[in-house]
A and B are shown apart, each in its own frame.
Chain A
Amino acid sequence: MKNIKDIEVDFDELGDFLEKNRKERMEFVKYWANYVKTHPDSDWSSQQNVVIDSQM
């Protein structure tokens, strides 16, 4: 097993990951906004409430 002091961090790789992750999230935001736009309010809100109500 690698010693904790020997761990190397590739910031280029992490930077690429962050950018990719950001793009993927934005794609999902677009997908979901279109879902909200094209489905009945009761449909999307019952799904969204799972996310919101879980915090409460």
Chain B
Amino acid sequence: MEYNPDKKEISLGRIPSKLDKFVISFTNILNKSCDYVIVSGYVSILLGRSRATEDVDLLIPALDKAKFFEIWNNLYSADFECLNTSDESEAFKMLEEHAIRFAVKGKPIPNMEFKIIKNDLDKYSFDNKIKVLIDKNMLFLSPIEMQISYKLFLGSDKDMEDAKHLYVLFSEKLNKEELIYFANKLKVIDKLETIKK
């Protein structure tokens, strides 16, 4: 694995897991219509964390109905379905309020949790996303410094372990100033100290 922070790029030579293949097939369809950024647990998992997950969180910028229907139709043509509703107008309305989930038809796990960018942290992740090159495909991830801080904020054992994995893996290449800035912003500077040990 090669991380180039200046280029915001990771070259990943991993053998894709079934989960990676699922994410790649979903994002390749999504990418035809809009940009996105993957956040939360799957960031750590793609980069080696040894655990499974049932969902992958993904953020997209606000979009109009026509664009959403285009994505919806492309996903349905590729054998994905929405787990919340089979009605695209209802799904679009839901998306304004909360995340909606997509999975391969008849297989609810794993699923993509599809969310609109709502706040400054989401927007920062999107604007500063990292490109990951994997198996001749591209995935876009939230910046590592943001991920570590956000996981510390979430604070469960699983989240703390995800944060530690990323911290140890990229310790020499992290932008420490940015990491401390986000840790302060999210009031988790004490937790950051614990994962440094």
| Bound Cα distance from A29 to B15, whole angstroms | 20
Shortest distance from the beta carbon of B15 to any chain A beta carbon, whole Å: 5
| Bound Cα distance from A40 to B14, whole angstroms | 8
Shortest distance from the beta carbon of A51 to any chain B beta carbon, whole Å: 5
Q: What are the residues of chain B within 8 A of A34 when measuring CB–CB? A: 168
| Bound Cα distance from A52 to B47, whole angstroms | 13
Q: Number of A residues whose C-beta is below 8 Å from B?
A: 25
Q: What are the residues of chain A within 8 A of B168 when measuring CB–CB? A: 29-30, 33-34, 37
Q: Count chain A CB atoms within 10 A of each CB in B22, B45, B49, B195 and give the residue with the most.
A: B49
Is B12 positioned at the interface, with any CB of A under 8 Å from its CB?
yes
Is B155 positioned at the interface, with any CB of A under 8 Å from its CB?
no
Q: Is the beta-carbon distance between B161 and A52 smaller than 8 angstroms?
A: no
Q: What are the residues of chain B within 8 A of A36 when measuring CB–CB? A: 1, 47-48, 169
Q: Is the beta-carbon distance between B161 and A26 smaller than 8 angstroms?
A: yes
Residues of B in contact with A, size category: 20 to 34
Q: What are the residues of chain A within 8 A of B66 when measuring CB–CB? A: none
A contacts with B: majority SS = helix
Is B100 positioned at the interface, with any CB of A under 8 Å from its CB?
no
Q: What are the residues of chain A within 8 A of B161 when measuring CB–CB? A: 25-26, 29
A53 (CB) vs chain B CBs: closest residue = B18
A31 (CB) vs chain B CBs: closest residue = B168
Q: Is the beta-carbon distance between A41 and B1 smaller than 8 angstroms?
A: yes
| Bound Cα distance from A38 to B48, whole angstroms | 12
| Bound Cα distance from A52 to B48, whole angstroms | 11
Shortest distance from the beta carbon of A56 to any chain B beta carbon, whole Å: 4
Q: Could you tell me which residues of chain A, from 19 to 56, have a CB within 8 Å of some CB in chain B?
A: 22, 25-26, 29-30, 32-34, 36-37, 40-42, 44-49, 51-56
Q: What are the residues of chain A within 8 A of B169 when measuring CB–CB? A: 33, 36-37
In the complex, 28 of the A-B residue pairs with CB atoms within 8 angstroms, ordered by the A residue number, are A22-B157, A25-B157, A29-B168, A32-B165, A33-B48, A33-B164, A33-B167, A33-B169, A36-B48, A40-B13, A41-B14, A41-B15, A42-B13, A42-B15, A45-B14, A45-B16, A45-B48, A46-B15, A48-B17, A48-B48, A49-B15, A49-B17, A49-B18, A51-B50, A51-B51, A52-B19, A55-B109, A56-B110
